[in-house]
Structure formats: structure tokens, C-alpha cells
Amino acid sequence: MTIKQWQRRPSAFSRQALAAYAALVVYGSLYPFSGWRSLGLSPFAFLADPLPQYLTAFDVVTNVLGYMPLGALIVLALYPRFRGTLAVGAALAGGALLSGAMEAIQTYLPTRVASNLDLAANAFGALLGGVLIAPATSALLDRGLLRRIRFTWFERDAAYVIGLTALWPFAAMFPAPYLFGGGDLPRVLWDALDPAMQDAILAWTPASWDVESWPDRLGALLPDDAWEALITSTSLFAALVLATLLTRARAPRIRLMLGLVALTLFAKAGATFLQSRAGLTFDWATDGALEGIAVATLAGALAVSLPRGLRAALAGGALVVSLALVNLLPVNPYFDIVLADWRQGRYLHFNGLAHWLAWVWPYAALGWLASSAERALLARRRARKAAQR
């Protein structure tokens, strides 16, 4: 089938994925963002350095593989304005420029070493990704199976939701005191405050509230398994509703939910197997966690037939409950043992990225759900006013 020019459409999802992946590259290249210093060297002095004395195939292959998706996404994001050789050239240039900027900035980080070999490997990876994806660009974006699924199952403005859904399994991988209990960034920021600052803030609350005792009093209301079941179910229910909120009536919503649950559990088990020194692949599968997964899956399936605005409100409410509990409940002291068993090593930057995803994902989803519920409410009000005229 011949695709005419007017049938070629740019992919909003590809552009969003490119921006997200570029941000991940920047994060991985500059983590942990501390200890900045100047040695009096030009940030581009590394370009003239000899090759590193100690080379490992792991480092070279990792740099190539890390930039291959970037090159592929550049080609996809530029389509149909630029195609073929021009798009591949842009992938090479984009990968080289981003890598060069990251290597130059690493000159000022004590934990990183700027390397011309890394630059070459990254640029080659971007070129390779662009070369591999360029012949299939039209098939993927114009007439491929993914495009048919995208527009048959999802509405046209669902790119952001699809991206959030794709990130959910990765956001659920990092260890948490309660399964899928991400979003504890406020607790982390609070614990990082100086005790004097904490006391000054608490002084603004009425003494009768006894805010400092809230975590212990809340934790004593239910056993740990019950709290884990509640946090797991509310978090997963919100993710399942979000994944199907902008689907069309013909979409297999139940199968999409089941697929997301399976992918999430597979990613969680795989990450635990790779990262845990003891190889405790399923140590997170407690009785409370399994009950929460079952409850969330059933609730998600039952909610499919509800109006979209109500589903968005329910998912948003579930996220609010989960975030409140995650930030207020006392942390199980045994969780420190689990976290200590989580290996860093070569996966240090991946772990940092996964941790940030676990912190940020619930708030990104909650913001979108709130705006979706608001739009649905305003639409109903407009329709009601129009009917009264």
C-alpha cells in the first residue's frame, strides 16, 4: 500500500518519548549531581586525551546500547519532515551533541570521568539506532501494527497517558516499604530537614493536633499486611484506570489491564532477581501485597463500565489515599535490611533513576487525573446549561 504525503502524520508520542529519554540520559550522565568542582581544565580537554588505559567491553557496549534508542527516537520524532539519510544524519548529530555536552559537564563532577571514547561510542550508538529504525519508520508510524493499535484502541490525545502507563512498571521496580508504595518524596524531604527547622514548622500547628504522634497512631490501627494490601491496591488500581481511561469502546480494556499487571510483576521480579544479593526474587510478594494485587485487578475490571469522569475521580482518590499513607505510616525497620541488600554497583545510575520514577510517577499521574476529572465536570456543566436554554 502506497502512503501519500497527506497521509503521513508526525507522531506526538515519539516526540514525547524522545524528550523523556533525553532527560533520562542527562540524569544518568550527571547523577548524583553533587560535588561540583573545577580543576582549571577546559571542559573540552577530554577530546584530545589519549584513549583510556583500562577498557572494558561492558562499558563500551553499554554506551552504544544506551544511545541507540535516542537515535531511533530522533528519527521517529522528525518524521515525516525529515526522512531517510537526513533523519539518520540528525540522529548522529543529536547523539554526538548531547553526549559531547554531557562529557564536557562531567569534567566538573568528581565521580565522573570525561572520555572521548564514551563520546565516540555514544555517537555510534545514536547512528546505529537511526540506521536500524529509518527503513521501518513509515511502516511503524503510517501503516504498522502499532499505529493501528494506537488509533483503534486509544483516542488521539492519549500520548501522555500512554507514556505514563509505559513508565509505571519501571516506577514500581525500586524497593518500597509497601509494594507499589511510591511517592514518598515529601517524607524524604521532611527527614532531610534540620530538627530545628522541623520544630519551627510544627510550632505552627495547634498543639491539640499532636502531629508528631500521627504516624504511630495511624500504624496501630491496622496490621502491616492490611496497610500493604490497601497501599498496593490503591496504587495499582490508579495505574490500571489510567491505562484504560482514554481507550475507545472497541479496545480490549480488561486484557490491557491484565497485560499491565503481568508486565509490572515481571519487571518487579526481574529487577529484584538482578539487584538482590540474596536473589530473593519474590521477597516482595507478601500476603498483603498479593491481596492488594487481586483487589486492584478486580476493582479495575469492574470500573471499566463506569463513566470516564467518575473513573478518573476514583483513580485520583485512590492515589491520594496511597500517597497519604505512604508518607504518614511509620517505615517498617526490616525495610532497611531489604534496601541494604539491593545492589548498586554497575546499576547505580539505573537505581537512582528508578528511585526518582517511584517518587515522581504518582504525582504526574495525579495531576493528569485531576485535570481530566475537571474537564469532564466542566463539560457536563456546559451540556447542562445548553440543555436549559
pLDDT, one tens digit per residue, over 272-295 is 776 665 556 677 888 899 999 999
Sketch the domain layout of the chain as residue ranges. Answer: 9-143, 159-388
CA angle 236, 239, 245 (to 5 degrees): 140
Beta-bridge mates of residue 342: 276
Peptide bond into 32 cis (omega under 30): yes
Residue 222: CA atoms inside 13 Å, Cβ hemisphere, count? 11
Q: For residue 100, which amino acid is it?
A: G
3-state SS class at 154: strand
CA distance 259 to 291: 18
E strands in 127-265: none
pLDDT score recorded for residue 333: 59
The reported pTM is: 0.71
Give the residues of the chain that fall short of pLDDT 70: 1-9, 52-56, 58, 143-147, 274-281, 332-352
pLDDT score recorded for residue 335: 66
pLDDT score recorded for residue 58: 65
Q: Where are the alpha helices (DSSP H) in 245-276?
A: 253-275
Element (H, E) at 82: none
pLDDT score recorded for residue 4: 47
Q: Do 163 and 16 meet the contact criterion of CB atoms below 8 Å apart? A: yes
Residue in 257, 355, 365 with CA at minimum distance from that of residue 320: 365
Residue in 94, 84, 363 with CA at minimum distance from that of residue 235: 363
pLDDT score recorded for residue 148: 72
pLDDT, one tens digit per residue, over 59-97 is 788 788 889 999 999 999 998 888 889 999 999 999 999
